Amino acid sequence: MKTVGLVAVSLLASLLAGNAIVLHFAPGYLNDERPAWAIVLGAGVRSDGVPYDETRERLAETLKLWNDGLVSRVLVSGGSRPEEIDETAAMANWLVAHGVAREEIVVDASAPRTIASFARAAEVHAIRSALVITTDSHLARSRYLAACFGIATIGIRPNAPSPTHSVAREWLARPLALIETIPRLPRCLGGS
């Protein structure tokens, strides 16, 4: 029984430490540079191709940035299993239907996880600075991961509160992000 208690305490300590580190080192400030790019992270679409509320709120925030002239290019990033509706195509279609020029939207459907979104943004699309649009609970991990791949970011969140399941999920996802980025840790923590 003592071993179970030690394992539980160790697991809790690891979760707390992982969250503290990612929350503390989620910088990526831009030094007065205004990025041309907005990176919109997917949060799923319904079977009829309509974005879930969380995705729609991110898209609506992106549309505001576009309409205000704060971004000129949009990367919609996500991934779907073959039997699912392509969330990134649905996201791009939503933006186009609301007035964003299709030629200014880059669709990346090969990023089913946040870490893949930023790896591909840097390595495939050569993005070095961006506004990142995602929910409040997801923002720290997103900015941390962006920094790990050399992308300076400003985080933008819709006014809607993060769903409870998203907040809980982030408590597990942040320590995982830290573990997955160990080879890049100096860069993630503000070094080179």
Please give the tally of structural domains in the chain. 1
CATH number of the domain that 131 lies in?
Answer: 3.40.50.620
Are 41 and 77 contacting, i.e. CB atoms less than 8 angstroms apart? yes
User: Phi and psi at residue 76, in whole multiples of 5°?
Assistant: -100, 125
Instruction: State the Cα–Cα distance between residues 145 and 139, nearest whole angstrom.
Output: 10
Q: State the number of CA atoms in the 13 A half-sphere of 80 facing the CB.
A: 21
Structure confidence at residue 1 as a pLDDT band (50, 70, 90): low
What percent of the chain shows pLDDT beyond 70? 78
Residues 6+ apart with CB under 8 A from 11: none
Entry pTM:
0.81
Strand, helix or coil at 73? strand
Residue 161 reports pLDDT greater than 50: yes
In this prediction, residue 116 has a pLDDT band, given cuts at 50, 70 and 90, of very high
Report how far residue 91's alpha carbon sits from residue 102's, in angstroms, rounded to the nearest whole number.
Answer: 11
Cβ contacts of residue 32 below 8 Å, gap of 6+?
A: none
Q: Which domain holds residue 29?
A: 2-188
**Shortest CA distance to 130 belongs to which of 43, 57, 65?**
65
Predicted local distance difference test score (pLDDT) of residue 29 = 46
